[in-house]
Amino acid sequence: MTGWYYTQPMTQANPSNRLSSSRLGLSRWAGPPLILVTDEGRLPDPLAAAAALPPGSGVLLRHYGDPARVARAAALAALCRRRRLTLIVAADWRLAARLGAAGLHLPEGLARHGVLAPALGWLRRRRVLLTIAAHSPGALGRAAELGADAALVSPIFPSRSHPGAPVVGPVRLGLWKRLARQPLIALGGVTAATAGRLPRGTVAGLAAIDGLVPAERSRS
């Protein structure tokens, strides 16, 4: 595997609310067990949050609607190199290739209906990570068809990203785990408190926006 690839145990960037991959009984996958997910609305500038992550963490760059996405991505890529973080770029394989990112993330709709041949060709040539968003068992099947390294299942718990939306929950997540042919990463409302409700071994990673932001920034 090329790119920024580390599998050290890690803890949450927020010192008042730490997550430990070993304590939570996470299974394994080829990527990082803890991932900061960027969001232009709730985390406009992800650099400070990414800088607070310990080496071995991951950063999933979304910022889909950010007009400065390319420049922000370049700054984030440089930080990830310095901090030994795994950078995964969402939706845009060309940007991922330009940055030398360690992986590509496909939203569920793009995984189902997008023109994927160029992206998949780049993934095979560079042997980088592929993650796919999954909001249903059908999406897990599509992730398996595309040979995804992991599926980001969401929302596991109520979250500010999708207020009032139905959640997967720990019980249903356990059922989906039996159907999945790839490791699962939990996203949506994931904090130290809620992550402890996940059955041990159900997920290989935890992903969050607010849950990984340093306490003083999350209150702003």
Domain boundaries, the chain: 34-218
Name the band, by pLDDT with cuts 50, 70 and 90, for residue 5. Answer: very low
Q: Which residues lie below 8 Å from residue 213, measured CB to CB, with a gap of 6+?
A: 13, 14, 43, 49
pLDDT at 7: 30
pLDDT at 193: 84
* Average pLDDT for 106-111: 97
Q: What is the rounded distance in angstroms from the CA atom of residue 12 to the CA atom of residue 209?
A: 11
Q: What is the rounded distance in angstroms from the CA atom of residue 38 to the CA atom of residue 62?
A: 5
Whose CA is closest to 139, among 112, 177, 166, 161? 112
Residue with tokens 């994931």: 190
Residue 120: count other Cβ atoms within 10 Å of its Cβ: 15
**Chosen CATH of 34-218 out of 3.40.50.2000, 3.80.10.10, 3.30.1330.10, 3.20.20.70:** 3.20.20.70
**Integer CA distances (angstroms), 86 to 112, 113, 141, 171, 180, in order:** 25, 27, 25, 30, 24
* Average pLDDT for 41-59: 92
pLDDT at 62: 96
Cis peptide before 54 (omega within 30 of 0): no
Q: What is the rounded distance in angstroms from the CA atom of residue 59 to the CA atom of residue 47?
A: 10
pLDDT at 162: 75
Residue with tokens 């440089």: 78
Helix axes 137-145, 169-179, angle to 10 degrees: 30
Q: Which residues lie below 8 Å from residue 219, measured CB to CB, with a gap of 6+?
A: none
The percent of residues above 70 in pLDDT, for the chain, comes to 85
What is the pTM (predicted TM-score) of this model? Answer: 0.86
pLDDT at 24: 63
Q: What is the rounded distance in angstroms from the CA atom of residue 204 to the CA atom of residue 186?
A: 8
Residue 65: count other Cβ atoms within 10 Å of its Cβ: 8
Is the per-residue pLDDT at 3 higher than 70? no
